[in-house]
């Protein structure tokens, strides 16, 4: 790997065109003098600066001088070519002889002209090589900061954006700056999946270092074998920093040459392969907090300033969106905070694949028919889920609770008592998606796979921006084996320990439901802030449920005709799910027969549903229920 490159401390911002023209003219006179056998010197200028940056030898500097001047002076070029009548081209042999260097027919294999593509050799049949100069180098010698043609349209200078006070910009800049003064090269590894935040960090770092930053979007230079080399050459020419994605790791270390002095590589994990001679510094950018998210909404979507302040505040507080997400949604110009929240949820849907599925949440608090104490506990859970961001923003509170900052609640009770509906109501109240975890995809017979699947689930963006719902949670959080008899028992208990840790450290909202509370390990129960028992509905509750479903499934006249008898149907013990299914079956039967619904039809369908549970409702029992005389 060539070490023959010296970094310039900062990028030039202006160049005087007359001075460039004067320098080229001086170089022309120097070449003409050489043709006459005389010696003239040009001590300073763009060529001298390029010579220093790439550590060119005198012969290599003369090669660039001749090619530069010849590109603008065809007559002089013709005079030079006449000295090589056989080749008919400007060759290394010609320039070496012209300026009295040691005889050469080709550039050396380690020549910076070749390694950095400053000039290109074209082999001739006599073993010598004709030369051409790269167009980007001509432009640079002319004082133009032209982007390399392979980078045009695929890389751009970064502009600054909002900067978080939690980003370690000053500390990183001081460390890198000190290293640069010692001749070191640095690669800043930004651990953040949020590409826009990483770019803003890079731009802010560049400002403190006094350097512009050239950014390459992920995949923009894929498939170009020379891309990395031309990218770093551009950085040396203009004394700028580079910003690339971790997925494009080869761009950070061009083959055969040293990379530019400062570059930023960003991505999730940000563990790029080590590069000899380059110092790595890892930087982790924390996700924006609620206040920062609100400022981002106002900056990226100025029309949000016209939204009601509480709605914008709640959008920022309840939806832990990244900078990328906010920018993407802002680009769609949502008309209000509700549409913005919906667009944020859409961005994460499908991230989990088979591990979870979204459940619609069309219910509100009035749809829940539960005892008042249970109802109030559910509202407490929703309030805690909403308020936790404010509480944990307090350093004193956060210090006391390094774990357990999420909201974990267990709903227990018989099937059909409203556990799933309660989860839907809480999700709707929070304005979040409800993701039902598919335990068949999470639980595995293989050692360690269950914990791995659960960790994948809990660490996903979709999960952390939704309400997770585990139905039949006893299948996942069952009691551990007390008497360990074999390796399988030990591994099962080990899996359980991992699951406990994952649940305790998860910062989001998790709702679990189980019909068998006694099967859940007591250690899991202790880690759950809320455990609610859902009782079977009372007579009064059953009557309310009957009223709700009848009013929803039948027209107003039919519902009014049935209303007076629903109290009698409510005397039959049934869960809310059984009542809903019975009413639904009656609605379809009514449509099939084209007859109005009756209490007896509802009762018959209720009996059919109860029979599924082994209870049933005989004709005589139905008569008694409806108070029909024998």
- The pLDDT assigned to 436 comes to 86
Q: Is the pLDDT at 455 greater than 90, yes or no?
A: no
Dump pLDDT digits (tens) for 262-305.
Answer: 999 999 876 778 888 899 999 999 889 888 999 999 999 999 99
Contact predicate 126/4, CB 8 Å: no
Q: Is the pLDDT at 597 greater than 90, yes or no?
A: yes
The predicted model gives 576-602 an average pLDDT of 93
Contact predicate 239/209, CB 8 Å: no
Q: Reduced to 3 states, what is the DSSP secondary structure of residue 239?
A: coil
Share above pLDDT 70 across residues of the chain, in percent, rounded to a whole number: 89
Contact predicate 243/215, CB 8 Å: yes
Runs of H (alpha helix) within 251-354: 290-300, 309-318, 323-330, 337-348
Contact predicate 148/230, CB 8 Å: yes
Q: Quick one: the chain helix, strand, coil %, rounded to 5?
A: 50, 10, 35
- The pLDDT assigned to 487 comes to 40
Contact predicate 189/282, CB 8 Å: yes
Most confidently modeled of 120-129, 136-145, 206-215, 408-417? 206-215
Residues 6 or more apart in contact with residue 41 via CB below 8 angstroms:
30
How far apart CA 91 and CA 123 sit, in angstroms, is 10
Among 274, 296, 279, smallest CA distance to 287 is for 296
Q: Is the pLDDT at 494 greater than 50, yes or no?
A: no
Confidence of residue 475 (pLDDT cuts 50, 70, 90): low
Query: What pTM does this model have?
Result: 0.76
The predicted model gives 373-382 an average pLDDT of 94
The predicted model gives 461-482 an average pLDDT of 71
Query: For the chain, what is the mean pLDDT?
Result: 86
Q: Is the pLDDT at 239 greater than 70, yes or no?
A: yes
Share above pLDDT 90 across residues of the chain, in percent, rounded to a whole number: 56
Q: Is the pLDDT at 85 greater than 50, yes or no?
A: yes
Q: Is the pLDDT at 554 greater than 70, yes or no?
A: yes
- The pLDDT assigned to 292 comes to 93
The predicted model gives 562-578 an average pLDDT of 92
Contact predicate 475/522, CB 8 Å: no
- The pLDDT assigned to 3 comes to 38
How far apart CA 572 and CA 574 sit, in angstroms, is 6
How far apart CA 218 and CA 248 sit, in angstroms, is 6
Considering only residues 378 and 314, tell me which one the structure prediction assigns the higher pLDDT: 378
Q: Is the pLDDT at 18 greater than 70, yes or no?
A: no
Strand ranges of the sheet holding 278-284, from the earlier edge strand across to the other edge = 156-157, 213-215, 241-245, 262-267, 185-191, 278-284
What distances in angstroms separate CA 589 from CA 542, 555, 563, 579, 586, one per listed residue?
Answer: 22, 15, 19, 15, 5
The predicted model gives 476-486 an average pLDDT of 49
- The pLDDT assigned to 197 comes to 95
Q: Is the pLDDT at 486 greater than 60, yes or no?
A: no
Contact predicate 11/239, CB 8 Å: yes
Residues 6 or more apart in contact with residue 457 via CB below 8 angstroms:
352, 355, 356, 437, 442, 463, 468
Q: Is the pLDDT at 200 greater than 90, yes or no?
A: yes
């Amino acid at each position: 790997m060539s070490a023959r490159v010296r970094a310039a401390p900062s990028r030039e911002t202006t160049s005087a065109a007359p001075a460039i023209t004067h320098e080229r003219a001086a170089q022309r006179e120097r070449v003409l003098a050489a043709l006459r056998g005389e010696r003239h010197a040009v001590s300073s200028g763009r060529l001298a600066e390029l010579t220093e940056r790439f550590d060119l030898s005198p012969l290599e500097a003369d090669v660039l001088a001749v090619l530069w001047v010849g590109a603008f002076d065809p007559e002089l070029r013709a005079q030079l070519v006449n000295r090589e009548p056989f080749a008919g081209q400007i060759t290394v042999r010609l320039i070496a002889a012209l300026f009295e260097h040691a005889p050469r027919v080709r550039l050396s294999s380690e020549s910076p002209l070749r390694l950095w593509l400053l000039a290109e050799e074209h082999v001739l049949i006599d073993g010598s090589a004709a030369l051409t100069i790269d167009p980007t180098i001509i432009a640079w010698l002319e004082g133009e900061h032209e982007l390399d043609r392979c980078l045009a349209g695929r890389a751009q200078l970064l502009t600054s954006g909002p900067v978080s006070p939690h980003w370690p910009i000053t500390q990183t800049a001081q460390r890198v700056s000190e290293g640069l003064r010692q001749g070191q090269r640095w690669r800043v590894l930004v651990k953040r999946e949020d590409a826009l935040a990483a770019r803003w960090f890079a731009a802010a770092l560049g400002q403190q270092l006094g350097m512009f930053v050239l950014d390459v979007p992920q995949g923009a230079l894929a498939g170009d074998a020379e891309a990395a080399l031309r990218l770093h050459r551009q950085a040396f020419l203009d004394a700028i920093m580079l910003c690339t994605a971790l997925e494009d790791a080869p761009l950070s270390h061009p083959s055969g040459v040293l990379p530019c002095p400062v570059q930023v590589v960003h991505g999730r994990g940000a563990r790029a392969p080590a590069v000899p001679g380059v110092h790595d510094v890892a930087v982790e950018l924390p996700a924006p907090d609620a206040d920062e998210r609100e400022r981002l909404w106002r900056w990226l979507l100025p029309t949000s300033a016209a939204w009601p302040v509480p709605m914008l505040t709640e959008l920022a507080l309840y939806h832990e969106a990244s900078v990328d997400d906010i920018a993407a949604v802002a680009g769609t110009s949502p008309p209000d905070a509700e549409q913005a929240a919906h667009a944020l949820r859409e961005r994460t849907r499908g991230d989990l694949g088979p591990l979870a599925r979204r459940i619609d949440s069309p219910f509100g608090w009035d749809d829940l028919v539960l005892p008042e104490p249970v109802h109030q506990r559910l509202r407490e859970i929703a309030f805690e889920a909403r308020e936790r961001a404010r509480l944990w923003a307090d350093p004193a509170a956060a210090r006391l609770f390094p774990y357990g900052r999420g909201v974990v609640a267990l709903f227990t009770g018989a099937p059909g008592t409203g556990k799933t509906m309660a989860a839907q109501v809480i999700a709707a109240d929070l304005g979040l998606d409800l993701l039902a975890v598919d335990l068949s995809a999470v639980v595995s017979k293989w050692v360690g796979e269950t914990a791995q699947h659960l960790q994948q689930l809990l660490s996903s963006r979709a999960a952390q921006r939704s309400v997770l719902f585990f139905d039949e949670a006893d299948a996942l959080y069952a009691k551990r084996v007390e008497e360990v008899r074999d390796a399988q028992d030990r591994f099962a208990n080990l899996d359980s320990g991992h699951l406990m840790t994952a649940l305790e450290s998860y910062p989001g909202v998790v709702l679990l439901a189980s019909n068998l509370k006694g099967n859940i390990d007591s250690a899991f129960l202790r880690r759950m802030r809320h455990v609610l028992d859902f009782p079977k509905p009372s007579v009064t509750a059953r009557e309310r449920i009957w009223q709700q479903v009848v009013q929803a499934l039948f027209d107003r006249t039919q519902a009014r005709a049935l209303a007076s008898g629903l109290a009698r149907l409510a005397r039959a013990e049934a869960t809310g799910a059984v009542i809903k299914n019975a009413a639904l079956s009656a609605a379809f039967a009514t449509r099939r027969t084209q007859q109005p619904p009756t209490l007896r039809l509802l009762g018959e369908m209720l009996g059919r549903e109860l029979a599924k549970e082994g209870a049933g409702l005989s004709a005589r029992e139905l008569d008694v229920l409806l108070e029909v005389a024998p």
